[in-house]
A and B are shown apart, each in its own frame.
Chain A
Amino acid sequence: LTHGSGGRAMAQLIDELFLKAFDNPLLRQLNDQAAFDVPAGRMVMATDSHVVTPLFFPGGDIGSLAVHGTVNDVAMSGARPLYLAAGFILEEGFPLGDLKRIVESMAAAAEEAGVAIVTGDTKVVEQGKGDGVFINTTGFGVVPPGIDISGNRARPGDRILVNGTLGDHGVAIMSQRENLSFGTGIESDSVALHGLVAAMVETVPNLHCLRDPTRGGLAATLNELAQQSAVGMRIEESSLPLREGVRGACEFLGLDPLYVANEGKLVAICAAEDAEPLLEAMREHPLGREAAIIGEVQEDPNHFVQMQTAFGGMRMVDWISGEQLPRIC
């Protein structure tokens, strides 16, 4: 990949690559924007910049991740995602073959998710000023009438659910990046969740909260929701779905799976009486087979998230600001 004025031919090459891979009627119009009709309901928009090392990992790559990440952010409002816009920042010297792989994977992910990438942009930066490739995606979707999902709707007594095992993505990425033998076999869970969300909303239209526990893991997400809703939460360690390989790898690595990133998981909060039907609906969907009720919302002026440990004690699930800097004195 080259950069600068001499790169006209290159720019064209890239455009063609994108056009071919993402091909759809809106993109084909070659405008600087995409114009489309909006169905009835509320419009939802979300944007996410994707930066990941390594670019290719078991279970996905930055391309599929860029689709899933934003589709999921849109879907967490209960919306059906419709369109994506994509912005690429490429580093000079990035192998064209790798780019092709990423773009094709992105196209496949979009197709599978049923969303069209309708507009986009590409910039090439000098060598050393990027990390291979960064992808920003912005998604649009529409929430059906009657759905009101928001982070501030958790109420004491509500139940907390997740759709499956925790920490797969973070551990897969780390194992791949650091070339750790004990992490092999763990795949990222990266996937678009709106199909599952549609099934959930159909069964429980009065779903209170949905959020994807990506960076910072379940711990960060629950703390965010607790703050937003001004409630406390209490989860049970024994009910957290965890893959054996992830559990083991986390033990070696000294990581707490509660803080490890996911890319195909969601946290749902609903009224107690809706919990069982919701769980059933989730388990019937391929992306919710290992769904579980992991805890409940409670009144708490401190907005603590706490966990009943396997030994029966209560432990704080702290809101950690950044890296897990050692704390044991």
Chain B
Amino acid sequence: MMRERIRVRGQVQGVGFRPFVYRLAGEAGLNGWVRNDSHGVLLEVQGDPAVIGKLAERLFSEAPPLARIDHLERCPVPLQGEQGGFTIHESERGAADTAVTPDAATCPACLAELFDPADRRYQYPFTNCTHCGPRYTITRAIPYDRSNTTMAAFPLCETCGREYRDPLDRRFHAQPNACPVCGPSLELYDAAGCRQNGDPIAATLARLKRGDVVAIKGLGGFHLACNARDREAVARLRCRKGREAKPLAVMAANAESLAGCVEWTEAEKALLTGSERPIVLLRKRSNTDSELAGCAPGVGWLGAMLPCTPIHYLLFHEAAGRPVDGAWLQAPWELLLVMTSANPGGEPLVIDNDEALRRLSGIADAWLMHDRPIAVRCDDSVMRVDAGGPAFIRRARGFTPQAISLPHTGPSTLAVGGYFKNTVCLTRGSEAFVSQHIGQLDSPANRDFLAEVVDHLCDVLRIRPEQVVHDRHDDLPGSQWAADYINRTGVKRVEVQHHHAHIAAVAAEHGVADRPLLGLALDGVGAGDDGTAWGGELLRVEAGGYRRFGHLSTLPLPGGDRAAREPWRMGAAVLHRLGRGEAIPARFEASAAGPIAEMLQRDVNCPETSSMGRWFDAAAGLLGVCPVMNYEGEAPMLLEGLAERHGAVAPLSDGFRLESGTLDLLPLLAELADIGDAGFGAALFHATLAEGLAAWAAAAADAEGIAEIVFGGGCFLNRTLSTGLRERLSDTGLRVLEARRLPPNDGGLSLGQAWVAIQQATVKERSDAGDRRT
């Protein structure tokens, strides 16, 4: 007989962990108690040592679906008499009580009830339990309990209340627990805001089938949906949303329903079906563009996701003819729905019902809405899988507010990111909380959203930042917002260089604190320390500082930022650099070709940049692939698609020059300038680029005596490039660290900024302490 105290850390609150422990202890006949506290879950068990050992094992092996155990600690404590079985202690209402977890897709047990005509929750669109359902997006404040969520307006009925209070029930303390008697309800509205009679699911499906665009209220915001197989409906949605060419994501009942249009691997299927339910980029088949015309034109990938709430499941269930047994969930179905975020004009997602009617008027034909408010905007996450595993393109729903563990603690830090694809990061001890995707900060609404996210995160995490970090570029909205915040609050200001932050973000998630790393930042532009625009950098990163080892040779940006939207301008810049400027006017059709040639010749508003992204644009421009971009990243995405379709080619010999730390790609671009076959050109560009970058990085690794290299920056979203480079560098014996828990692009910038600032603060602390000692 012995007694043990067990401490469990990780994502163990609000996920049914205490009832799980209660059940295990009961089954094992152990006495004791379990409770939540500010560190996670704490339990004491008394009984046979072997039985206790077995229980500790089962805590790991049978943990509830949404739980994640980071750390488990056991220590013996004195035996206690008078054991009255095992009890769940109410949490102490103290600091950081019950943590908020990410939203999760409907679990199998809830699905079974949803489609069981005999169940009291048959076809109830708000079915959830401790293992699934809304979390972060309904949470207004902590502690996480019903009164602090948007479920506060729905008092539990007697039956739901019983479930809620029964430790052996799947719905024990499930805050959003609901049923048709007491919970929210679903309604369909027309453009006039009139509620439609009849079954809202059936009516919505009918509208989708006849080509309507329907706004559907999801977890973190509204989607705009239409029939993905209806070419005209897709075109209509694009036209109304003002989204000409950017790929649209598609929702299917299950992976099997996607098999006809895209290929998926087991790893991709696992990601698709995971409870986070991200959009996963899947390789298109040759027939994808004819089957799903207009969904993802030109690019090699289709973004796909599976239903994340009962509402979405019910639409597919309806389309399948309301089958009564669960087999339909694994069968392929014809219906595929375009599901695109309802964020007109690039502004924040629509979350409110009235707002939806207003902001989506003229875009949607009907609104499928309910009366459970969304407290927090949270867009869909977007991911893909490569040889190194899953990677983010956008991190939001299903993942925020999950913490990323930093290698060590530091002052509470708020990092505000940059400009595009913005996120913010808040740290508490050694935990870093990166916000959901906020988006482009060029609209006032998105800046308000940023402020809203900072406030909300500070509230629910109970953080008071001691320092605020922003990009070195003073004219980025993030920097301006930070300056304002600092003025208001008087907290310490830290500036971090853009590409340093990109590398630091990846170093942070890999837990590297104590050794120098080589960082390869391949990116758009970011302000460099010398006042020029960087973006293709090799950095030696160490202890919160860095040194610029080398960079890509520079190209002029004719017209500054304008050149980043018009790849033909970068093509012209290369011709100019090659001494072939006189060919510019004849080569490019744009009426601006003459003026641009003149600007290049006279060096008027042609700032130089070492940006990798602009070299991609230049290649696209010279190959005539995408003279002007419709959306950010279009040119490199099309280029990658072309290279993939063409297949691998050998790198161009002498395609690059390496000189004193600088990688010059001009010889490669000179070749591209005279290649007529865009597919071959794209393949040659990717192959030679990987070769050149690998040679460059290997030389730097050698010179610095560092065997670990970090990939950071938006260009690593390019799978062909990152795969090619990873393979080459691994072959030379280098260890490659990549962004896996955040996107490599500016979506991860805030984490890197925070980590640099924390390192600087702790380095300073240590040296101050050293000074005092001596």
- A residues contacting B by CB (< 8 A) are 174, 178-182, 249, 251-255, 302, 304, 306, 311-316, 318-322, 324-329
By the criterion CB–CB under 8 Å, are B560 and A324 in contact? yes
User: Are A314 and B443 closer than 8 Å at their CB atoms?
Assistant: yes
Segment at the interface with A among B133-141, B193-201, B328-336, B471-479: B471-479
Residues of A within 8 A of B596 (CB): 252
- 12 further contact pairs, Cβ within 8 A, besides A313-B346, A315-B443: A180-B599, A182-B594, A182-B598, A251-B592, A253-B562, A254-B558, A302-B444, A314-B347, A316-B441, A321-B475, A326-B557, A329-B745
Query: B730 near A: Cβ within 8 Å?
Result: no
Is there an interface contact between B523 and A178, defined as CB atoms closer than 8 Å?
A: no
User: Once bound together, how far apart are the Cα atoms of A252 and B593, in whole Å?
Assistant: 9
- In the complex, 20 of the A-B residue pairs with CB atoms within 8 angstroms, ordered by the A residue number, are A178-B599, A178-B604, A181-B594, A181-B595, A182-B594, A252-B596, A252-B599, A253-B562, A254-B605, A306-B443, A312-B242, A313-B345, A313-B346, A314-B347, A319-B480, A326-B533, A326-B561, A329-B420, A329-B523, A329-B535
- Give the distance to chain A from B601, nearest Cβ to Cβ, in Å: 10
Name A252's closest neighbour in chain B (CB-CB): B595
Residue B109 at the chain A interface, CB threshold 8 Å: no
| CB within 8 Å for A321 and B474 given contacts A254-B561, A328-B561 | yes
**Least Cβ–Cβ distance between B359 and chain A, in angstroms:** 11
User: Are B476 and A327 in contact, with the CB atoms below 8 A?
Assistant: yes
Which of B592, B604, B613 counts the most chain A CB atoms within 10 A? Answer: B604
Q: Are B604 and A316 in contact (CB under 8 A)?
A: no
For the complex, would chain A's binding face be called helix, strand, loop or mixed by DSSP majority? loop
Report how far A185 CA is from B16 CA in the complex, Å.
74
Q: Is B64 among interface residues, defined by CB-CB distance under 8 A?
A: no
B474, B498, B562, B598 interface centre (most CB from chain A within 10 Å):
B562
| Interface 0/1 of B236-273, CB less than 8 Å to A | 00000010000000000000000000000000000000
Q: Mark each residue of chain B from 146 to 184: 1 if its CB lies under 8 Å from any CB of chain A, else 0.
A: 000000000000000000000000000000000000000
Q: Are A182 and B345 in contact (CB under 8 A)?
A: no
Q: Which chain A residues border B613 with CB–CB below 8 Å?
A: 329
Taking a contact as CB atoms closer than 8 A, the residue among A182, A253, A318, A329 that contacts B525 in the complex is: A329
B475 & A254 in contact (Cβ 8 Å cutoff): no
Q: Is the interface of B mostly helix, strand, loop or mixed?
A: mixed
- A302-B447, A326-B525 known; A254+B559 contact, CB < 8 A: yes
> Are A324 and B561 in contact, CB atoms less than 8 angstroms apart?
yes
Decide yes or no: A326 and B607 within 8 Å by CB, A252-B592, A306-B444 being known contacts: yes
Residues of A within 8 A of B607 (CB): 325-326
Q: Check: B714 CB closer than 8 A to any chain A CB.
A: yes
A321-B474, A325-B473, A329-B523 are known contacts. Are A313 and B480 too (CB-CB below 8 A)? no
B443 and A313 form a contact (CB under 8 A): yes
Q: Chain A contacts of B602 at CB under 8 A?
A: 178-180
At the interface, yes or no: B526 with Cβ under 8 Å from chain A?
yes
Q: How far is the CA of A113 from the CA of B599 in the complex (A)?
A: 37
Contact partner, A327, options B345, B347, B473, Cβ 8 Å: B473
Which residues on the B side are within 8 Å of A325 (C-beta)?
473, 475, 527, 531, 533, 560, 607
CB of B564 within 8 A of chain A?
Answer: yes
A87-B347 Cα distance, complex, nearest whole Å:
51
Give Cα A315–Cα B444 distance, bound, in whole angstroms.
7
B100 to chain A, nearest CB (A): 28
Q: Which chain B residues lie closer than 8 Å to A328 at the CB level?
A: 419-420, 524-525, 561, 564-565
A53 CB, min distance to chain B CBs, angstroms: 13
The answer for the CA separation of A326 and B595 in the assembled complex, in Å, is 20
Report the interface size for chain B: residues with CB under 8 A from the other chain: 55
Contact of B561 with A253 in the complex, beta carbons under 8 Å: no
- Do A253 and B475 have beta carbons less than 8 Å apart? no
Q: How far, in Å, is A20 (CB) from chain B's closest CB?
A: 39
Shortest A220–chain B CB gap in Å is 12
B563 interfacial contact with A, CB 8 Å? yes
Q: Are B444 and A253 in contact (CB under 8 A)?
A: no
Interface residue B44 (Cβ < 8 Å from any Cβ of A): no
Task: Check A180 against B604 for contact (C-beta < 8 Å).
Answer: yes
Known contacts A180-B599, A182-B594; is A304 also within 8 Å of B447 by CB? yes
Q: B residues engaging A (CB < 8 A)?
A: 242, 344-347, 418-420, 441-445, 447-448, 473-477, 480, 484, 498, 523-527, 531, 533, 535, 557-565, 592, 594-596, 598-599, 602, 604-605, 607, 609, 613, 714, 745-746
Do A253 and B605 touch (CB < 8 A)?
A: yes
CB of A164, distance to nearest CB on chain B (Å) = 25
Closest to B533 in A: A326
Nearest CB in chain A: distance from B441 CB, A: 8
Q: How far is the CA of A255 from the CA of B476 in the complex (A)?
A: 17
- On whether A318 and B604 interact (CB within 8 A), knowing A312-B345, A329-B746, the answer reads no
Q: Which of B346, B604, B746 contacts A253 (CB 8 A)?
A: B604
Complex partner residue of A326 from B418, B441, B560, B594, CB under 8 angstroms: B560
Q: Are B477's CB and A316's CB within 8 A? A: yes
Instruction: Name which residue of chain A comes closest to B448, CB basis.
Output: A302
CA distance A160 to B554 in the complex (A): 43
Question: Complex Cα distance A319/B599, Å?
Answer: 26
- Which of A314, A320, A328 has most B Cβ within 10 Å? A328
Contact A311–B345 (Cβ < 8 Å): yes
Q: Given A174-B604, A181-B598, A253-B605: A329 and B498 within 8 A (CB)?
A: yes
| Residues of chain B contacted by A181 (CB below 8 angstroms) | 594-595, 598
Residue of A nearest to B560 (CB): A254
Question: B605, A314: Cβ atoms under 8 Å?
Answer: no
Please judge, given known A-B contacts A304-B444, A316-B447, whether A255 and B561 are in contact too, CB under 8 Å. Answer: no
Query: Contacts A254-B559, A254-B560: A326 and B345 contacting too (C-beta < 8 A)?
Result: no
| In the complex, chain B residues whose CB is within 8 Å of the CB of A179 | 602
Name the CB-closest residue of B to A320.
B475
The answer to whether A255 and B527 have CB atoms under 8 Å apart is: no
**How many Å lie between the Cα of A254 and that of B558 in the bound state?**
8
Cβ-defined contact, A252 with B559, below 8 A: yes
Residues of A within 8 A of B475 (CB): 318, 320-322, 325, 327
Most buried by A among B477, B526, B598: B598
- Chain A residues whose C-beta falls within 8 Å of the C-beta of B605 in the assembled complex: 253-255
> A314-B347, A325-B475, A329-B746 are contacts. A253–B559 as well, Cβ < 8 Å?
yes
Compute how far the CA of A316 lies from the CA of B477 in the bound complex, rounded to whole angstroms.
Answer: 9
Nearest-neighbor residue (CB-CB) of A251 within chain B? B592
The reply to whether B418 and A329 contact each other, CB–CB distance below 8 Å, is yes
How many angstroms between the C-alpha atoms of A318 and B479 in the bound complex?
12
Q: Is the CB–CB distance between A318 and B524 below 8 Å?
A: no
Decide: A329 near B526, CB < 8 A? Known: A174-B604, A304-B444, A320-B475: yes
State the Cβ distance, B423 to closest chain A Cβ, in Å: 13
Q: Specify the chain B residue showing the minimal Cβ separation from A178.
A: B604
Question: In the complex, what distance in Å separates the CA atom of A128 from the CA atom of B4?
Answer: 84
9 A-B pairs with the lowest CB-CB distances in the bound complex, closest first: A254-B559, A254-B562, A313-B345, A329-B524, A328-B564, A252-B595, A254-B560, A178-B604, A182-B595
From known contacts A182-B594, A254-B560, infer whether A311 and B525 are also in contact, taking CB-CB under 8 Å: no
